[in-house]
A and B are shown apart, each in its own frame.
Chain A
Amino acid sequence: MKVAIVTFPGSNCDYDLYKCVQFIGGSPEFRWHQDSSLGNVDVVMLPGGFSYGDYLRAGAIASMSPIMEAVQIFANSGGPVLGICNGFQMLCEANLLPGALLRNESLLFSSKEVILRVENNSSIFTKSYEHHKTLRMPIAHAEGNYYADQEALDQLEKEGRVMFRYANQSGETTIESNPNGSVNNIAGIINTHGNVMGMMPHPERAVESVLGSVDGLDLFKSLLAHIVDPRPV
């Protein structure tokens, strides 16, 4: 699995993602925000961080950078694109995903371990997970409060495109388990064609037991399995 990891000025999870892809047996390659081509890769990943210092809005300037045209083309041709944290914000800003990430309800940066419930395990990103399995992984963001208007939200829900929701240990999606005020406890969504996913939590920080959780592993393994055997799931 050849993975292009795009570094923007201010990205700070690019290296973590690189190590993670290596760890699961993939071949990561960095791409620079000013590159105009992605090269021959199987997957594109947009890492977390503060691209362009979050100036204007988180992800807004990055979504206009030269490489994003190549990402658009890659995505439109069905290539898998994963955006994590700031990468999710970029995907929304680039209209590859619906909705927006607002300031956390608490107005504070929130860094902690959260519990996610797998909502849909029939995507190329989640097929290795059991349905409704609960996962532990860290969040670290100030703008992770997912919002979409009622129409877009209804569509997301109707089409089963919510991939992860914040939940408690028993797997219930309660107000208390929602760390940022996201509508319907949404932590991650996918596009209509099922090849572009964005999520606020950091699966790449949950791939080794020494880091406290290995629950992010199956996400990368799902992708790896898809690249090896790209039959529809």
Chain B
Amino acid sequence: MNVPSPQPRVGDPTITPELVSEHGLSSSEYEKIKEILHREPSFTELGVFSAMWSEHCGYKNSKRMLKLLPTKAPWVIQGPGENAGVIDIGDDLALVFKIESHNHPSAVEPYQGAATGVGGILRDIFTMGARPIAVLDSLRFGDLNSGRVRYLFSGVVKGVGDYGNCVGIPNIGGEVFFDKGYEGNPIVNAMCLGLMKKDSLIKGEAEGVGNLLVAVGTATGRDGIHGATFASEELTEDSQASRPQVQVGDPFTEKLLLEASLELIHSGYITGIQDMGAAGITSSASEMGGRSGNGVEINIDSVPVREPNMTPYEILLSESQERMLVVVKTGHMKDVKNILTKWELEADEIGRVTDDGLFRVTEGDQTVVAIPCLALTEDCPTYEREGEESVQIKDLRSRDLSDLDTKPSNCEEIFLGLLGSPNISSKRWIYRQYDTTVRTNTILKPGADAGVVRLRENNKAIAATTDCNGRYVYLNPRTGAKAAVAEAARNLVCVGALPMAVTNNLNFGNPLKPEIYYQFREAVLGMSEACKLFETPVTGGNVSFYNETSSTPIYPTPVIGMVGIIEDTANMTSPLFHKPGDSILLLGNNTDELGGSEYLYVVEDLVAGEPPEVDLLAERQLQHCVLAMISEGMLQSAHDLSEGGLACALAESALGNKSNQHGVDIILQDRLDPIPLFFGEAQGRILISCDQSSSSRVLQVAKNHGVPCHEIGEVVSPSDGFKIAGRTGSLEIEIEKMSDIFFNSLPSLMGKANKS
């Protein structure tokens, strides 16, 4: 392609190797840019390449591995590459969903960082033509005994809450995990689900040469310039100075944008729409041009700005929030303006769709940028890096755990310690700050294995969950990633949903370090294997590298966001025990595994050992088995076993939502010591309860599915307490004592008295 040369602008700095490097580009990448353009780029063009070829936009260190993930299934309408994934859920309806990270902004400005994270993911959903129906958040922080961590945690929770509450999207679940491994670099991943008629799907494409490019929403300011590049670097002592790079959110404008966008999409006056997210106008315009095969031309003087004297460089790279780029059919600008004016939104024509394939920017009658769209979106160099496991982690994993005292005399004390650990205790302090019931469709709220929203159109419901135990992934990335997928699927089947598809958020350290790239590669391989076997294709997601502070990387945390369908809401199941006398059964086998467990972390202050083994075939049988039981209406409750093992799962099912509590009387026949038996985190286990009269049928269904199943006890009245007897040790505690610790631990850590 013959690429025209832009005129140099007065005041542009000369491009030097240092300047190139400051823009996060290597010298070979710079050479490639010159090759594409057949000339030196201008300063503005350098900025454009820097953003589009950043890790955040260009996926340069991840793309090759991501190709290994399964992305197809008959029900997948839209896989990776668009604003969000889309699946067919029958009855002419489609579910749109995606997860995205906002880790770096949240590390320096937790409230705005988290709020704008939610804002961004909502826009990804409604720009596909879908109305957002639910939000989930997946969070990781350091130890809550640190004041800085409490500041980050409370700010993030408030930011997630305020934004979603204001827009009016219920938060239906998610997870939070605390471990010193996330001390300076929290993880803030937000997932959104949207619903639409299948034929309302609209893509981010610049169709129709001559159509208008219209900027909608807030004016462009100097906030968030180079946010995409910022997100592609490690956090350092100086990162606090980057606070101006964090965008500021306005959920009120977002709500208006949401309503206006859906109205625009249904009006037929527009052919494409996209959020101006990371790398702002640059990415939205060049991506829309690239996907359609057309070009785009932007007249920089027409872009509404908040401040005087903004340069093309600043305007193109600003990440001011709540802005959209819309492609308007010729002749319909007035109609579009009418809709937007109703919602009190500004709309300005800033350019048009061209046929030359170029991302062209003009200022007055001068061209300041002329780059082939596809060079920005497709030609970003991709790398497969060196990967080698860290010797230190290898040692931790092979640590001999056999000298642990697995028959201690103080099992009760250990148990209460675990129940009070913020990783296990009730998360009410968090989700009570989230509106969970707006839209009046939430039928299973946060605190259950998965969140569920019913569909008004039929009897079905959508279930969603996010999962990942970063400790497992740290100790063994392949096993840990499999475990994350398996846990997500277990959580869905526990509420009665068939797992359908995955969106993933891959949070890792610096991929240029061999030990990090090893984690990334292994995790993708594990995830790929599990998703293939479970038939849950990955329809998109997000990669967040460079999650390091002062060169200490976070635990590798590939968060799995999984969605599933409940065919009939009448068969939805919750984790809570129902009534005294019900039989309690355990599906799956107990083992002596303790590696990577919450027990080791809380009691021994240790993150070591081989994480629990994941048998994917057994997991799949277990999923089918539980779904069969639920669809036949046999179960009163179903609950996945995870952190804290069997004892903690029993406690969660017994303590419920605090109002309807039960006791349990459990007798375990396993030849295992109390510690692994009570607190081990063996995978592939689900705790179920049923009416006593159904237990023989339940055992039969399990047998038919080849799933180990044992009746281990019964639900009793709360005054009869919580009793677990093993062969070589037992636990017996009052429900009130457990309840107090379980519900008050997080509020008291956060310094607030827990009311009611």
Contact = CB atoms under 8 A, between A and B. Distances in A.
Interface stretch (B357-365, B392-400, B427-435, B516-524): B427-435
Among A111, A112, A140, which residue has the most Cβ atoms of chain B within 10 A? A111
Interface in B392-441: 428, 431-440
Given A10-B255, A53-B166, A210-B569, A111 B435 contact: yes
A229 interface: no
Interface string A28-54: 000010000000000000001110111
A233 interface: no
Interface string B335-354: 00000001110000000000
Contacts of B436: 111, 138, 140
Contact of A9 (B343, B432, B439): B343
A195 interface: no
A204 B438 CA distance: 10
Nearest to A16: B440
Nearest to B131: A15
A26 to B, nearest CB: 16
Chain B CB within 10 Å — which of A49, A52, A110, A140 has the most?
A140
Contacts of A109: 158, 161-162, 165, 433-435
Interface string A155-198: 00000000000001100000011010000000000000000000
A140 B437 contact: yes
Nearest to B435: A140
A176 B428 CA distance: 16
B737 interface: no
A103 interface: no
The residue in A13, A176, A207 that gathers the most chain B C-beta atoms within 10 A of its C-beta is A13
Interface residues of A, number: 38
Q: Which of B342, B433, B443 has the most CB of A within 10 A?
A: B433
Interface in A110-133: 110-112
A169 B212 CA distance: 60
Given A53-B252, A111-B433, A176-B756, A12 B168 contact: yes
A226 interface: no
A111 B161 CA distance: 10
A15 B439 contact: yes
B454 interface: yes
Nearest to A49: B168
Contacts of B334: none
B434 to A, nearest CB: 6
Interface centre among A20, A110, A138, A168 (most CB of B within 10 A): A138
B251 interface: yes
Interface in B575-616: none
Interface string B428-461: 1001111111111011000000000010100000
Interface residues of B, number: 36
A84 B681 CA distance: 46
A76 B168 CA distance: 31
B748 to A, nearest CB: 14
A140 B439 CA distance: 12
B250 interface: yes
Given A10-B252, A16-B439, A106-B755, A111 B432 contact: yes
A108 interface: yes
Interface in B237-254: 250-253
Contact of A106 (B255, B438, B442, B752): B752
A19 B456 CA distance: 10
Nearest to B443: A210
Given A55-B252, A210-B443, A211-B443, A13 B438 contact: yes
B256 interface: yes
Interface string A85-97: 0000000000000
Interface in A33-82: 48-50, 52-55
Contacts of B435: 109, 111, 140
B462 to A, nearest CB: 14
A9 B256 contact: yes
B554 interface: no
A221 interface: no
A138 B255 contact: no
A10 B166 contact: yes
B135 interface: no
B69 interface: no
Contacts of B439: 15-16
Nearest to A204: B440
Contact of A205 (B256, B440, B752): B440
A205 B250 contact: no
A177 B756 contact: yes
Nearest to A178: B755
Contacts of A15: 439
Nearest to A140: B435
A9 B440 contact: no
A169 B660 CA distance: 12
B438 A50 contact: no
Given A111-B432, A112-B432, A179-B756, A202 B437 contact: yes
A159 B343 CA distance: 42
A53 B251 contact: yes
A50 B433 contact: no
Contact of B167 (A12, A20, A138, A211): A12
A168 to B, nearest CB: 8
Contacts of A208: 440
Contacts of A16: 438-440
Nearest to B431: A111
Contacts of A169: 659
A169 B454 CA distance: 28
Nearest to A176: B756
B252 A111 contact: no
Contacts of B161: 109
Given A53-B251, A177-B756, A210-B569, A205 B166 contact: no
A50 B440 contact: no
A138 B252 contact: no
5 contacts: A12-B438, A50-B252, A140-B438, A179-B755, A204-B440
Interface of A: 9-10, 12-13, 15-16, 19-20, 32, 48-50, 52-55, 106, 108-112, 138, 140, 142, 168-169, 176-177, 179, 202, 204-205, 207-208, 210-212
Given A20-B440, A54-B166, A204-B440, 17 more contacts: A12-B167, A12-B438, A13-B438, A48-B438, A108-B432, A109-B435, A110-B432, A111-B434, A111-B435, A112-B428, A138-B436, A140-B435, A169-B659, A177-B756, A179-B755, A205-B437, A205-B440
